[in-house]
Structure 1
Amino acid sequence: MNQINKRVRGLFIFLFVFTLACSHAVPDKMSAAGSGTWNSPFTVSQANSNQNGSTQTVEGYVVGQPTATNTVVTSNFPNDYALALADSASETNTSNMIYVQIPSSFRSGYGLQSNPDLMGKKLKVTGSLSAYFSHSGVRNASAFEVVDGGTTDPTDPPPSYDSYYSSAEGKTGSALKTALHNIIDDHQTLSYDAVWDALRNTDEDPANPNNVLLLYTGRSQSKFLNGGGVDDWNREHVWAKSHGNFGTTQGPGTDLHHLRPTDVTVNSSRGNLDFDNGGSQHSEAPGNYYDSDSWEPRDEVKGDVARMIFYMAVRYEGDSGELDLELNNLVNNGSAPYHGKLSVLLQWHAQDPVDAREIRRNNIIFENYQGNRNPFIDHPEFAEMIW
């Protein structure tokens, strides 16, 4: 009798353990369902296991914005550049998340700074399953949809410039910097005289096609009120041309990606100062501050300035007989081929995101003049990935 009871008890224990195991196995099986199509998307877990560069659709809950490999913020979002998805709306372990790069064309609708109410909502996204922030990710997204509404057409192609950066995918640090240099290197150069007409196009005032907008003052001024007069506009080298002593020679001295129309007097005051916070406000350019060793532009163009400086440090790397321009965290760089202050420029880059005017300007330079782009306008996240 005791032997029978032992057998019954053993059978009961076996059945209990088997049932418990099956009950835990079902969710895992369900989480693996999905073929990566729009109608049958991958789960986040599945997408994390298939980081092979293929284009797939992933579905998950919005749990925050990645700002570093192991950091996801859930409030006070710094910009609209990225979001993190997870299979659970309450997930806090970054290893169970996937980081989604948000192309500029989708940021107004899906960036968390502009749309904080997306937190906790289920989202579908189609893109390339490849590393982002050195973490499993979705890049070059071509479609987004809030599952309970807010759809975009999944057949919409990604922005045409995404393929321009294909050789930089999956890279970070110096490898990314080198890859971007190779992409934007050897651009078509202009003469310094040709820069006048180019700036009349790139910096045209959208509210008045007869005018240009001046960088530091924000003043709208006639396209042809240029030269050396007190209230004329002239050609400002945002990377000060004495930092490396390249002057106005073709190449760095005429590169439209860092040349901007600026009031003559204000340009003179800025001189060859490095960029940093603080100083006295400029009497002719409210919102701009300067002292003996640095210049702080107005808030509306702080990010523009930072991204122009980032571009120069990547475009000119010392090959083909060109200068090697580099960033440092100093001021008073003088004639050395350095520009600062890097930590402040990174702050400005985050503080003042890319806007429509920058995008338009980047496109015009690419299509009409130089044939190269500023990567930090197209992919603002590259700055943190390099520096």
Structure 2
Amino acid sequence: MLFTFGCSQAPLSQMKAAGNGSWDSPFTVDEAISNQDSSKSTVEGYIVGQPISENNVIKSQFPSDYALALADSASETDTSNMIYIQIPSIFRSTFGLQSNPKLMGEKIKVTGELTDYFSHAGVKSTSKIEVVEGDGSDPSDPTDPPSYEEYYQPAEGKTGAALKQSLHDIIDDHHELSYSDVWEALRNTDEDPNNPNNVLLLYSGRSQSELSNGGNVDDWNREHVWAKSHGDFGTSMGAGTDIHHLRPTDVTVNSSRSNLDFDNGGSPHREAPESFYDSDSWEPRDSVKGDVARMLFYMAVRYEGDVSDEVDLELNNYVNNGSDPYHGKLSVLLEWHEEDPVDEFERRRNNIIFEDYQGNRNPFIDHPEFAEMIW
């Protein structure tokens, strides 16, 4: 796919001799945008934010350490004059903006493959990143960042039902997967960080081969965290295939959880001994209680029944909700949300779903405070 990007003329004080893409003579951002030929080259520019979509670069409250945007001026706001940099895991702790927000406005050099990232001029397979020492800051550094990044800008200043509706409007228009597509998606979203050939199972925490999916005992299958009978949406595209709430689980454990609501108490499950259950509720292991809560918060906001054939899902403070489009227990979910904060696994998962599959985010991972502001 060919993209054409315009670029305004830089002041004479910022102009420099044309680079050749080497480490000692790097491309400017403008030159790198014009040379998207998959070559391994070096580009130099100012960090101006984090890309979250083709035309959206945020300036604050960064959701991850996975990407950054460079421009020839630190005050640049036009995304067509930016290049998007993919940050591999070995550089994230040093150059990721969530971990290092003070890097905004710094000039860096990056070596990698000049190719599309987020369907935008980019650098991928990054092999080297360094701050340009002694450069000082660009005289046109950004001033105060917005109170919310651009993705959530329409929700700024809202609470309660108004915030819930605003977040719904932000996240409801996304790509929908088929149920068969979910298998491959979960292999990526739930990859074991310590073994890329495995997935982590939600309720047991077991790491097992990503290819051992199916219906046999000890296989893993696709768990609907918002039980698919609660609203009777089954496995249809939309709520039934939304990977923000679909997770790999052991077949037997999935069967035992069935369509139980969430609450504290019960007996330990034989194959997931840190998870507990009884006749009307399921309690997941401590390290994913917050994950479960945030997935249900997402579902209650995303699915409002405002289009034909789409279910209206709501949280309540009950168990035994059966086939009604409700899920509980809200008071317990809010407690779990506080007790088990967002972790890097959730952030990574949210980013992958956004970038590679659905094109929407779980707001309660990016902004945990939204839960209390709504409920």
TM-score (norm 1): 0.61
Aligned to 1:176: 163
Distance in 2, Cα, partners of 1:305 & 1:346 = 10
Q: 2:364 aligns with which of 373, 376, 384?
A: 376
**Paired residue for 1:163?**
150
Matched, 1:276 2:263: yes
Give matches, 1:112-191, under 5 Å: 152-153=102-103, 155=105, 162-191=149-178
- TM-fit CA distance, 1:103: 5.9
The reply on whether 1:331 has 2:281 as its aligned counterpart is no
d(CA) in 1 for partners of 2:361, 2:353: 7
Corresponding residue for 1:114?
none
State the Cα distance separating 1:287 from its structure 2 match. 1.0
Q: Which amino acid aligns with 2:371?
A: A
**Which residue number corresponds to residue 252 of structure 1?**
239
Residue of structure 2 aligned with 1:218, choices 205, 227, 231: 205
Counterpart in the other structure of 1:231: 218
SS of 2:198's equivalent in the other structure is strand
2:260–2:320 Cα contact (<8 Å) kept: yes
Once the two structures are superposed, the pairs formed by residues 1-387 of structure 1 within 5 Å of their partners are 152-153=102-103, 155=105, 162-321=149-308, 322-387=310-375
What one-letter code is carried by the residue in structure 2 that aligns with 1:295? Answer: W
1-side partners of 2:63 and 2:244: how far apart?
19
The separation in 2 between residues aligned to 1:151 and 1:248, in whole angstroms, is 41
Change in CA separation of 1:103 and 1:347 when aligned onto 2, cut-off 3 Å: farther
Compared CA separation, residues 292 and 164, structure 1 to 2 (3 A): same
Larger Rg: 1
- Relative to 1, partners in 2 of residues 1:315 and 1:151: Cα closer, same or farther, differing over 3 Å? closer
2:101 & 2:245 partners in 1: Cα distance? 38
8 Å CA contact retained: 2:64, 2:351: no
> After TM superposition, which residue ranges in structure 1, 4 or more long, deviate above 3 angstroms?
101-106, 150-159
2:69 corresponds to: none
Q: Cα gap change, 1:102/1:167 in structure 2, threshold over 3 Å: closer, same or farther?
A: closer
Aligned partner of 1:281: which letter?
Answer: P
Equivalent position SS for 1:240? coil
Report the Cα offset of residue 154 of structure 1. 5.8
Q: Distance in 1 between matches of 2:203 and 2:101?
A: 39
Aligned residues of 2:218 and 2:251 also touching (Cα < 8 A): yes
Question: Identity, % of aligned pairs?
Answer: 76
Unaligned runs of 5+ in 1: 1-100, 107-142, 145-149
Q: Which amino acid aligns with 2:296?
A: I
Paired with 1:153 and 1:192, the residues of 2 have a C-alpha distance of 41
Cα distance in 2 for partners of 1:327, 1:209 equals: 35
Deviation at 1:369, TM superposition (A): 0.5
| Cα distance between partner residues in 2 of 1:196 and 1:230 | 17
Question: C-alpha distance in 2, partners of 1:213/1:378?
Answer: 22
Q: Read off the aligned partner of 2:295 and give its amino acid letter.
A: M
- In the TM superposition, residue 163 of structure 1 has moved relative to its aligned partner by 1.0
Q: Distance in 1 between matches of 2:224 and 2:260?
A: 11
Code of the residue aligned with 2:218 in structure 1: it is D
- Runs of at least 5 residues in structure 2 that lack an aligned partner in the other structure: 1-59, 66-96, 107-141
Residue 187 of structure 1 and its aligned partner are, at CA, apart by: 1.1
- TM-score scaled by length of structure 2: 0.63
Q: Distance in 2 between matches of 1:188 and 1:367?
A: 11
Shift of residue 105, structure 1, vs aligned partner: 6.3
**Deviation at 1:151?**
9.8
Structure-1 separation of matches of 2:168 and 2:64: 24
> How many residue pairs align between the two structures?
246
Secondary structure of the structure 1 residue equivalent to 2:239: coil
User: 1:295-316 CA deviation, whole Å, 9 max, x = no partner?
Assistant: 0000000000000000000000
**One-letter identity of the residue aligned with 1:377:** I
Cα-Cα RMSD: 2.4
Paired amino acid for 2:301: V
Cα distance between partner residues in 1 of 2:64 and 2:174: 26
Residues 64 and 347 of structure 2 are in contact (CA less than 8 Å); yes or no, is this contact kept in structure 1?
Answer: no
Quote the offset at 1:286 in angstroms. 1.3
1:155 shift after superposition: 3.4
1:152 is aligned with what amino acid? K
Partner secondary structure for residue 213 of structure 2: coil
Q: Specify the alignment match of 1:13 in structure 2.
A: none
Partners of 1:354 and 1:295 lie apart in 2 by 21
